[in-house]
Amino acid sequence: MEDCVVSGYDIPKGTRLLVNLWKIHRDPNIWSDPCEFKPERFLTNQKDIDLKGNHFELLPFGTGRRMCPGVYFALQVLPLALANVIQQFVINRTSNEPIDMSESSGLTTSKATPLEVLLAPRLSHQMYHVGS
């Protein structure tokens, strides 16, 4: 909309600027061991990162006008849904092999090898039948 400077580069008005989020998410200047799966980093030194597009180190829902419209719904409902699955089922893996955390290429980041699990009800089957 107007001339601006991004990371020291002069960007003239009317320029379409494409951001390489894949590169930002794997930048070793921002993340230590960026290609390692370390979810615990968000409980310690990166715990104050806002998922709603205000911190550009992590943009799981995008940012700005193109941000996912369901971000607020997801942040409220997803923990509840996950808690229900964990409470209602015993979750086991199908093998003792290490989990492959490699990624496949595409528009979104997906696991190259799907994780296979076995779900079993946590309670006996009589607990799920009401009124008979």
Q: Residues comprising the binding site for heme?
A: 68
Rounded to whole angstroms, what are the CA distances from 46 to 38, 58, 116?
11, 10, 29
Rounded to whole angstroms, what are the CA distances from 60 to 66, 93, 121?
12, 27, 32
H or E element, residue 4? strand 4-6
- Binding site: which residues? 68
Residue-wise DSSP of 43-95: GTTTTT--TTTT-TT--TT--GGGS-TTHHHHHHHHHHHHHHHHHHEEEEES-
